[in-house]
Amino acid sequence: MENTPTNRILEIHSKQREFFSTGATLDIKFRKQMLKNFLAAVEKWEERISEALWTDLHKSYEEAYLTEISIVKSEIRSHIKNVCKWARRHKACSPLKLFPSRSYVVKEPLGCSLIVSPWNYPVQLLLNPLVGAISAGCTAVLKPSPYVPNVSKVIEEMIKETFDEKYVAVVQGNRVVNTALLEQRWDLIFFTGSPDLGKKVMNAAAKYLTPVILELGGKSPCIIDKDADIKRTAKRLAWGKTLNSGQTCIAPDYILIHEAVKDAFVKEFAKAIKELHGEDIKADRHYVRMVNDKAFERVSGYLKEGDIIYGGRTDAQERFIEPTIIENVALDSPVMTEEIFGPIFPMITIRPNVSPCHPEQSEGSFEQQVIDFVTSREKPLAFYYFGKESKGWEMVRRTSSGGGCINDVIMHIANENVPFGGVGNSGMGRYHDKESFEAFSHTRSIIATGNLIDLPFRYMPYNMFSLVKKIL
């Protein structure tokens, strides 16, 4: 796909600045109508979007709908229903010292926004932030990933048909285009991608002190305790690791497992994979491929960094990698320090009183070893625990992550009523539902004071200071 010329980027940016300055987007009726137009467009283009997802990622219609299209539609519907309430001016309590003033909280759009998305969920991760931009009253430039050219093309066509480019526009291209975009002055940058690229976005934003929402990634741990329901745990992890073939920012990345249940888990995991994808997983239309040859080479290279105890088959021509569990991995190896973004599970067996980091040393309980292991690394985007719920809550309390699940994986992103976002190296800022509206809004405090009464105590030379001091 050809890069959008720099002069076109400048033209679109200028048009959106000019349009926002007219105040047209401040009208709530306008925002609701745009959201309705957006929903109608997604429904109209659903089939073409699904076809493009199949072409680029081998993503089945069912998975495309469940993990991409339905999430966007649900988000739009919620904003249509609630935007009036969210955007309304709210009265706040005023203390006695401000009498006779009235206090208000006002929501205003930040302005012109830039939304940059990755390739793994190229519809959801591009269009969901756009919902927030529209409902908050912002303009938006969308930058999809060049690694999914068919999806990016379809989305561009849909956006062109639905919106004027002075309001919402799509810009295509590689990192050269990203650089040109980041050189412009934005009122908000919403970026989804790797931590390394997130740092570059933040550096560029610093020039103008532009606020950023960074949805990044990281190595999300999965803890399997001795009292976990192993059959159900294996099924849910098999699903979570093969969803989009592991190319999910909140996919379970590696396993910390109690030695008492290791063998049983591996056995049940193998059964679960067959239940989900059949005897020949390569032939299953629901099994997604690596996005490109580079991704295939990177992920398949991890297979050499441990002992394969399940899976391991690959096909470079089809960019196919079988779901695989490896063990005996070095803790400082790439498979344990880089986000895998593929269907490979490094598994570390935890033996009570034997540290995986320092086996020669006597350490504490399973719980303490897990906590020490997780907290010694960058904060992940997700944290998953399988076992007694009470233990899970203690693990959650003593670790930090963007979000997570107890006795499940990934499903926290499916609830639009809770915020989604990272922490530390896994990102900053939140979105989904009202949080998306908030992400693209500025919260403004306004005090309105009448003129009939003017209390003298605030004025110099503070003759009433002794009395005021007693009151305050």
Residue bearing tokens 């934003």: 205
Which of the following is catalytic: 46, 63, 75, 215? 215
Give the Cα separation of 139 and 130 in Å (integer): 9
Strand order in the sheet with 90-92: 90-92, 102-109, 441-448
**DSSP assigned state of 423:** -
Give the Cα separation of 52 and 48 in Å (integer): 6
Q: Is 93 a catalytic residue?
A: no
| Degrees, nearest 5: CA angle 276-123-40 | 110
CA-only gyration radius of the chain, Å: 25
Q: Is 249 a catalytic residue?
A: yes
If you write DSSP's letter for every residue of 363-405 in order, what string do you get?
---HHHHHHHHHHTSPPPSEEEEES-HHHHHHHHHHS--SEEE
Closest to 313 measured CA to CA, from 281, 287, 284: 281
Give the Cα separation of 433 and 449 in Å (integer): 34
CB atoms within 10 A of CB 211: 18
Prior bond to 461 cis, omega within 30? yes
Q: Please answer whether residues 254 and 221 qualify as being in contact, where contact means their C-beta atoms are separated by less than 8 angstroms.
A: yes
Q: Please answer whether residues 190 and 116 qualify as being in contact, where contact means their C-beta atoms are separated by less than 8 angstroms.
A: yes
Question: Which residues 6+ apart lie within 8 Å of 464 measured at CB?
Answer: 456, 457
The long-range contacts involving 1-6, CB below 8 angstroms and separated by at least 24 positions, are 1/146, 1/149, 1/152, 1/153, 1/172, 1/173, 2/172, 2/173, 3/172, 3/173, 3/174, 3/176, 3/177, 4/171, 4/172, 4/173, 4/177, 6/180
Strand order in the sheet with 403-406: 307-310, 324-327, 344-350, 254-258, 221-224, 382-386, 403-406
Give the Cα separation of 31 and 92 in Å (integer): 25
Which of the following is catalytic: 112, 138, 249, 405? 249
Give the Cα separation of 383 and 253 in Å (integer): 10
Any idea which residues carry the catalytic annotation? Answer: 215, 249
